[in-house]
Amino acid sequence: MACFFRRRIAEKLPELVLLRQTPDFKLSVSSLRTNEILPSSCDLQLQTEDLAAQLKQDSVVEDISAGYGVINFTVNRKLLVQKLLEPLGRDGDEKFGLNSELFNTIKRGTTLIEYSSPNIAKKFHAGHLRSTIIGNFIANLKKSLGNKVIRMNYLGDWGMQFGLLGAGFGQFGCQEKLKENPLQHLFEVYVQVNKEAEHNEDMYKAARDFFRQLEQHESEAVSLWQQFREITVEEYQRVYKRLGVHFDIYSGESFHQDQAQEVVQQLQSQGLLKISEKGTGVVDLSPAGDMSSVCTVLRSDGTTLYITRCQHVPFGLVQGMKTRSGEVVFLEDVLDEARARMLHNMSQTKSRMSYGSATKELDNPEDTAEKVAISALIVQDFKGPLQSDYKFDWDRMLQAQGDTGVFLQYTRARICSLIRRNEGVEAATFDPSLLLEQTSINILQHLLRYDEVLYQSAQDLQPKHLVNFLLKLCHLIASAHRELPVKGSSQDVAQARIRLFSGACSVLANGMRILGITPVDKM
């Protein structure tokens, strides 16, 4: 829809540069002079007035006027209302904004997204949250733009840690405890064997031997490793379900163990693999070739390291993710605490902002609290550049006021409640001329940017553009909710306003789903 209006305005002047501002569009004449589209020797204001006089109105642009150094364009607002809201019925249109001409230059095909990548036989650490939700966002975005997306979880399921765990399980492990609480028991074994290996060389030697057996595919070692891997993936899937995340493929470092040996052989054949004084296999990365900077690819016993199996993409760290007790926690503990805090907030009837419906009216308050809490986690993470670190803040994250995931969910739930209370009001047709108030136009002009925001997100894979768009939309919806009442209005006005709220609510939900947020209808 946005392209329709951009194209019609641009037809009036070649190389049109648009600066979108409320209420409609402005053309900076000075920018045309800077870009040598217009001569810079003439008086700027005379040039502006002359150019404005040459441009003609049509069914889309109904008024053109000259300001100081700018040309103002007023769009046919009735047409704007029609073009944006007709495709958006009560059930929404998931394709809104996705058929834009902006996406014609984007290549579509099969895209493999690899994300999350926890280490098996360990509890899901909170530090893996960023990789999980970032990867899920990218996968959702790519799919929405027409790509066939394959979601892969590349598990850390190989390496010396399994030498330690395998050797340690033989001494400290218990199959009964493994069945009762698999990851907790494996974690306990791993901690115990590491402590033992610190002062017991025999234990470390046993760990090296076990990993060598793994790389040589000896059946007993492989069988125990497979057991660890299977029970870990099963436990992880339970956590992923809570986050609304799924994978098409569970791969891992173990899948590339043979290729890792091929990499080593290629390095050897090209004379790049050298043996250090410690007996490890290294590649000299120093510019002068003096071994001042090396990369270790083989241990002294010939087993491979992580770097031979994977390519890394960095992002910032989360600082201060702690519980009330001040301890760093596992992801499930974070989710449990976020849900508990959110449920507490929802039950506070005397809070500064009502959540729109009493908690007791919800079919499953715990489930709603969890979805809203996860929304809060995601928005707090996605508001800034992914490369930046950010400080985890429980209180700020869960506020209903301010730019939070709770505010997103609250706004949508509030509009869903409005629609439920006015069931039967919305009709198949509506009168666009009844939605010409500035409050309505502000929402519609913001919706015009939806395709631009998705395009920008597709270019740099940053969720901040979509997050900020949705938060701004929520503020505009809040204003409209105050200024455009449905109750007490005539039927035709009520129908038009419900259509406006329904359309905005649909786009809000679409954007939330791309971010990985599950919208709730009640709070």
CATH code of the domain containing 216: 3.40.50.620
Q: Pick from 54, 75, 96: which residue ends a domain? A: 75
Low-confidence ranges of the chain (pLDDT < 50): 13-23, 90-91, 311-314, 349-359
pLDDT tens-digit series, residues 51-109: 889 988 888 888 899 888 889 888 899 999 998 888 775 445 788 888 888 898 888 89
Give me the amino acid identity at 143. K
Q: At what angle are helices 201-215 and 182-199 packed, to 10 degrees?
A: 130
Q: Within this chain, do residues 427 and 371 fall inside the same structural domain, yes or no?
A: yes
Q: Within this chain, do residues 286 and 371 fall inside the same structural domain, yes or no?
A: no
Q: Within this chain, do residues 367 and 489 fall inside the same structural domain, yes or no?
A: yes
> What is the per-residue pLDDT for 306?
59
> What is the per-residue pLDDT for 26?
83
In a domain, 56, yes or no: yes
> What is the per-residue pLDDT for 223?
94
Q: Within this chain, do residues 299 and 337 fall inside the same structural domain, yes or no?
A: no
Query: What size, in residues, is the chain?
Result: 523
Structural domain count, the chain: 3
Q: What is the CATH number of the domain that holds 352?
A: 1.10.730.10
Give me the amino acid identity at 487. K
Report residue 65 CA to chain centroid gap. Answer: 42
Q: Within this chain, do residues 255 and 394 fall inside the same structural domain, yes or no?
A: no
Q: Within this chain, do residues 297 and 445 fall inside the same structural domain, yes or no?
A: no
> What is the per-residue pLDDT for 247?
96
Q: Within this chain, do residues 353 and 258 fall inside the same structural domain, yes or no?
A: no
In a domain, 221, yes or no: yes
Q: Within this chain, do residues 303 and 232 fall inside the same structural domain, yes or no?
A: yes
- H or E, element range at 140: helix 129-144
Q: Within this chain, do residues 292 and 368 fall inside the same structural domain, yes or no?
A: no
Domain span at residue 189 reads 154-308
In a domain, 430, yes or no: yes
Write down the catalytic residue from 12, 83, 123, 128: 128
Q: Could you identify the residue written with the tokens 């598990």?
A: 155
In a domain, 8, yes or no: yes
> What is the per-residue pLDDT for 328?
52
Give me the amino acid identity at 94. E
In a domain, 408, yes or no: yes
Q: Within this chain, do residues 362 and 506 fall inside the same structural domain, yes or no?
A: yes
Write down the catalytic residue from 125, 322, 464, 472: 125
Q: Pick from 75, 107, 134: which residue ends a domain? A: 75
Q: What is the CATH number of the domain that holds 71?
A: 3.30.1360.70
In a domain, 145, yes or no: no
**Helices and strands in the chain: count of H runs, count of E runs:** 19, 12
Q: Within this chain, do residues 502 and 353 fall inside the same structural domain, yes or no?
A: yes
Query: Rounded to the nearest 5 degrees, what angle is found at the Cα of 499, between the Cα atoms of 444 and 417?
Result: 110
> Do the Cβ atoms of 338 and 376 come closer than 8 Å?
yes
Whether the ω angle into residue 23 lies within 30 degrees of 0, i.e. cis, is yes
If DSSP codes are grouped into helix, strand and coil, which group holds residue 432? helix
In a domain, 94, yes or no: no
Give me the amino acid identity at 331. L
Annotate 142-177 with DSSP letters as a single string.
Answer: HHHTT-EEEEEEEEB--SHHHHHHHHHHHHH--HHH
Phi/psi at 119 (nearest 5 deg)? -90, 130
User: Active-site residue 122, yes or no?
Assistant: yes
User: Active-site residue 128, yes or no?
Assistant: yes
- H or E, element range at 7: helix 2-10
Q: Pick from 57, 75, 93: which residue ends a domain? A: 75
In a domain, 60, yes or no: yes
Q: Within this chain, do residues 273 and 381 fall inside the same structural domain, yes or no?
A: no
- H or E, element range at 296: strand 294-298
> What is the per-residue pLDDT for 137?
97
> What is the per-residue pLDDT for 6?
57
Beta strands in 171-279 (DSSP E): 249-252, 273-275
